[in-house]
Amino acid sequence: MADKSPAQKALVKLGLTRDIDLALHLPLRYEDETRITPLRNAREGDLVQIEATVTASEVQLRPRRQLVVRVEDGTGSCELRFFSFYPSHQKTMAVGARLRVRGEVRGGFWGRQMLHPAFRKAEGALPAALTPVYPTVAQLPQAYLRRAVASALARVQLPETLPPGLQPPVARFDGHAALQPVWNLREALLFLHHPTPDVALATLQDHSHPAWQRLKAEELLAQQLSQLTAKRERARLRAPRLQPAQEAGTLALHEQLLAVLPFALTGAQRRVSAEIAQDLARPVPMHRLLQGDVGSGKTVVAALAATVCMDAGWQCALMAPTEILAEQHFAKLIGWLEPLLAARGQQVAWLVGGQKKKERAAMLEHIASGAAALVVGTHAVIQEQVRFKNLALAVIDEQHRFGVAQRLALRQKLQHGVAAGPPQGDAAPLGGSDPRSGGAWGPSAPMEPHLLMMSATPIPRTLAMSYYADLDVSTIDELPPGRTPVVTKLIADSRKDQVVERIAAQVAAGRQVYWVCPLIEESEALDLSNATATHVELSEALPGVTVGLLHSRMPSLEKKAVMEEFKSGRMGVLVSTTVIEVGVDVPNASLMVIEHAERFGLSQLHQLRGRVGRGAAASACVLLYSTGDSGRLGETAKSRLKAMAETTDGFEIARRDLEIRGPGEFLGARQSGDALLRFADLACDGALLAWARAAAPQMLDQHPLLAEQHIQRWLGAKSDYLKA
């Protein structure tokens, strides 16, 4: 086979391999070559196409080498200047040649001029449609790409995949404002590549044109279809039914835990716990996201779910993204559960990355034997060597902090995790699942544990409806009683002194203070030195106060020791990089200072802020911002920080974060190869999204083949999406 040309290679690199890929490679903008402007009418600054004859052509050497071509069209004349040119250009623009020239008219001292205009021989009729300009790369000339797209468009088969009853709400108006049949995909694409010159260009630019709408509707439908398919496939899998054992005389763990809790559950906690318990009692794997603001009390809900699982005689795994988070998040929960489990001869196993070999081996044994009913740790919990006896529930805390790729891997591993040890015969756990007791699956269907994900970063509604459509969501929308709202203040870092005074006052009143230094992404070393310097500075400014330092590079034992000091109240001020971002629970802390707040994401700031206001004392969060050399904070930066001061509603903050950062950043999907929406924009395509959500189940039910075809068309080359 002949080697590919650089242009062909570039096509492959851009992911433009199939005809459909080329057909979906839409123009960035258009050039209007459909009209000729007489030179007489061409005004300075106009971008025009003229048709004129060359009357003179010469290479001038001063002030620098340039080709100067003079053209006339009978209504006026114009000079074309080229500072770089080839002999072939001179040939095309020889005296007497008739040319079509496109460029911006300048009215110089010497009359009209165009600098480096586009030109070609005046041949054939003018095009009837606008000329597309495609996004491309250096190795792929625009003209080559145009031809490739045009021939793909001519070849590509685009049979209608949307059944007549399921057309998107995209109207088409004729000249008399009467509704016409909607655009189909083929018409829409043909139009978008070669629109007629009478189109309002603004509607192409802002994607409001009906042809664009049709395209976006199709894309959203494909996304919904694929997620719904995934959801339905999961519904065919088996999972253990987790229902309480009916053993006389013993009190279930679940009731025991409720009895030892030092507080009553909030209404929201009771509601979501019931939702989860209902899922767990079904013989299909749960796939649920539990979202609730920082401090809303998700851990107890997880603990209750774990007891349901253990009461049914199965193992439960709890995971957090880092070791320190795992410890902080689950410390209380384990404090509650460990004694209860011990009374039944069971235990809690820890699995983290940096464990000693011997300890790890012992843990693995407990897990394999089933002596450990509860397994806690980082994603080390689901590594290959780990063999569960009978894992039935996996809980993932702070799931958004796992990368998307990590999350996918995790789910795959889980599928194998439980397959390793479904109970059989005598080994069947008390009250465990009985494959005969319902469900449409056969005994050979793969077994998967239930999955509960928890997140304090609420997913804005539009994202939940699109990217997470295959997920069930439970929301804790109520904070435990007795919390004092945190007051947030914006202060320029030039007024740091006042903030230090405030810290001194808080400590004098017996309270404790967090000082958060920003993570400097480019340089961990800089990050560290910054935190260290702040630590020294504050220690000097606050004589008699114990100021501690916590940063990500410290050995974990040292971290633990520092955290202990702070928790015990002996340490007044804790300087830290963002390691405390989630999980620290010190009710006596009443002030948090966040340095360079402008460098943090809103959701991140919100989570940090959630670390204070956990006790009865009035609490505050100071967002110190740096104005840099300009002495002013940029407008966007300011409005972002203002939003933080204005609202304490995590959902509202997540929504604004989404607005500012877009879904790619939000989902961390850029690194994942996940199919991001390419044409639709969730911020303004809510109506189309709603249509797609309603249409997807109908289409899967009534037109499964068309649905399959539609998914294939849109997501077949999904990995190529991001590169385009």
Which residues would be at the binding site for ligand ADP (CB under 6 A)? 263, 265-266, 269, 292, 294-300, 332, 456, 480, 585
> Measured from the CB atom, is 266 or 390 closer to ligand ADP?
266
CB 283 within 8 A of CB 432: no
Closest approach of Cβ 410 to ligand ADP, in Å? Answer: 20
Q: How far is the CB of 317 from ligand ADP (least distance, A)?
A: 17
The tokens describing 229, both together, are 């398919």
Q: How far is CA 236 from CA 282, 442, 448, in A?
A: 12, 9, 11
Which residue, 399 or 534, is less far from ligand ADP as judged by CB? 399
Smallest gap, in angstroms, from Cβ of residue 307 to ligand ADP?
15
Nearest CB to ligand ADP, comparing residues 294 and 372: 294
Tokens encoding 677: 């929406």
Strands (DSSP E) found in 93-161: 98-104, 106-108, 111-115, 118-121, 131-133
Helix 253-260 and helix 323-342, axial crossing angle in degrees, nearest 10: 110
Q: How many CB atoms lie within 10 A of CB 362?
A: 14
Closest contact distance (angstroms) between CB of 653 and ligand ADP is 15
Please name the helix (run of DSSP H) or strand (run of DSSP E) that holds residue 91, with its range, or none: helix 87-92
Q: How far is the CB of 621 from ligand ADP (least distance, A)?
A: 16
Q: How far is the CB of 295 from ligand ADP (least distance, A)?
A: 5
Q: Which of 302, 447 has the CB closer to ligand ADP?
A: 302
Residue number, 159 or 335, with CB nearest to ligand ADP: 335
In order, the DSSP letters of 147-176 are HHHHHHHHH------S-GGG--S--EE-TT
Least Å from the CB of residue 605 to ligand ADP: 15
DSSP summary character for residue 321: S
Q: Position of tokens 């509704």?
A: 179
SS3 606: helix
Separation between Cα atoms, residue 234 and residue 256, nearest integer Å = 33
Q: How far is the CB of 611 from ligand ADP (least distance, A)?
A: 10
Of 335 and 628, CB closest to ligand ADP: 335
Of the pair 80, 584, the CB lying nearest ligand ADP is at 584
Burial of 270-290, coded b for 16+ CB within 10 Å and e otherwise, reads ebbbebbbebbebbbbbbbbb
Quote the least distance from Cβ 475 to ligand ADP, whole Å: 12
Q: How far is the CB of 456 from ligand ADP (least distance, A)?
A: 5
Which residue number, 379 or 567, has a Cβ lying nearer to ligand ADP?
567
Shortest CB 469 distance to ligand ADP, Å? 24
- C-alpha distances out from residue 716 to 22, 223, 708, 713, Å: 13, 12, 11, 6
C-beta of 274: minimal distance to ligand ADP in Å? 15
CB 531 within 8 A of CB 576: yes
Closer to ligand ADP by Cβ: residue 615 or 662: 615
Nearer to ligand ADP, 266 or 433 (CB): 266
Look up tokens 């967090």; give the residue. Answer: 514
Amino acid at 74: G
Cβ-proximal residues to 633 (8 Å cutoff; 6+ apart), any chain: 492, 598, 625, 626, 627, 641
Neighbours of 647 (CB within 10 A): 16
User: 155 pairs with which residues across the strands?
Assistant: none
CB-nearer residue toward ligand ADP: 38 or 587 = 587
With CB atoms as reference, the residue minimizing the distance to ligand ADP is 297
Pairing of β 98-104 and β 118-121: antiparallel
With helix as H, strand as E and coil as C, how does 534-551 read?
A: HHHHHHHHCCCCCEEEEC
Q: Looking at beta carbons only, is 332 or 413 nearer to ligand ADP?
A: 332
Q: Which is nearer to ligand ADP, 240 or 297 (CB)?
A: 297
E strands in 360-449: 372-377, 391-396
In the complex, least distance from residue 268 CB atom to ligand ADP, rounded to whole angstroms: 9
Cβ neighbours for 34, distance < 8 A, ≥ 6 positions apart: 126, 127, 128, 129, 130, 197
Q: Which amino acid is it at 54?
A: V
Write the single-letter amino acid at 64: R
